[in-house]
Chains A and B, each alone.
Chain A
């Protein structure tokens, strides 16, 4: 091999390796970017805990917050006060909807009696609505604007700040 040329191998190998190593630092592999943000609400028609039926048409016309939860989900207990607070203060501007995820209606109802029922409808999902939203696991919260377009998504328990940001994305001022 001719002298000198071989040293080119060093930057050729090291630069991409370095770029690759540093580019990924700080990226959390557990959060998966959502595919549904920016898209329209999927169509659905599901029974609710109080015996009525909830469809996607019910949600169009007013900003909505859709929260996937289950009685077996620990972090759902932590985020529940944030949802109750939002419902109480902003119930006129935004509609909250719960979706019971992979759970029995009886257990879900018992959970609500224990941790506080905010009075919003809770649809019981057989699993396919959660898949339509690309839910990875409860709790997960989606913010839908008045036109029925999904605008934001929070994975894991919703904090007061995440709630305010999500509401801002659908044109509701939470302050």
Chain B
């Protein structure tokens, strides 16, 4: 493998990351507010679907109400609150409490952190490899050792 391939790949991945970030920010995926709101509100007369996905009577009524309120100039937060006042926080498929979001994220971050600290903990100095074995041989040995295990 030529030496320039690695840096090129890193540069390409970084460039792609930039493109993706720009695509994520400016992308045409801005859904209509009504659609986003409908996907966040639970359909009262079915069990696990949002009103965006359901076609029951109540879901139809709530979608119509969302459109009407948005047309009347209310903001998304006001519309959300309108439904919470009437149905309770039960109507929100995305729980409003920050704890619901923070607890699992903290748990995962803490586990990754503990794992990272453990892996980076001081360890016995690495055994220096004999100089006379060249890279190619070492790679071949590693490959053959690996093809022996699963």
Give chain A residues whose Cβ lies under 8 Å from the Cβ of B101: none
In the complex, A34→B85 CA distance in Å?
A: 10
Q: Across the interface, do A128 and B57 meet the contact criterion of CB distance under 8 Å?
A: no
Give chain B residues whose Cβ lies under 8 Å from the Cβ of A126: 64
Query: Nearest chain B CB to A119's CB is how many angstroms away?
Result: 26
In the complex, A40→B60 CA distance in Å?
A: 26
With CB as the reference atom, state the residue of chain A lying closest to B58: A137
Interface positions, chain A 14-44, Cβ under 8 Å from B, are 32-36
B41-81 contact mask (Cβ, 8 Å, vs A): 1 or 0: 00011000000000011101110110010000000000000
Tell which of A33, A127, A128, A137 touches B45, judged by Cβ atoms closer than 8 Å: A137
Q: Across the interface, do A135 and B64 meet the contact criterion of CB distance under 8 Å?
A: no
Chain B residues with a Cβ closer than 8 Å to the other chain, count: 17
Whether, in the assembled complex, A171 has its beta carbon less than 8 Å from a beta carbon of chain B, the answer is no
B residues with CB within 8 A of A: 44-45, 56-58, 60-62, 64-65, 68, 83, 85-88, 90
A residues with CB within 8 A of B: 32-36, 70, 101-102, 126-128, 130-138
Known: A102-B60, A127-B62, A132-B86. 20 other contacts (CB 8 A): A32-B88, A33-B88, A35-B85, A35-B87, A35-B88, A101-B57, A126-B64, A127-B60, A127-B64, A127-B65, A130-B58, A131-B61, A131-B65, A135-B44, A135-B58, A136-B45, A137-B45, A137-B56, A137-B57, A137-B58
* 19 pairs of residues in contact across A and B, judged by CB atoms under 8 Å: A34-B88, A36-B86, A70-B57, A102-B58, A102-B60, A126-B64, A127-B60, A127-B62, A127-B65, A128-B65, A128-B68, A131-B86, A134-B44, A135-B44, A136-B44, A136-B45, A137-B45, A137-B56, A137-B57
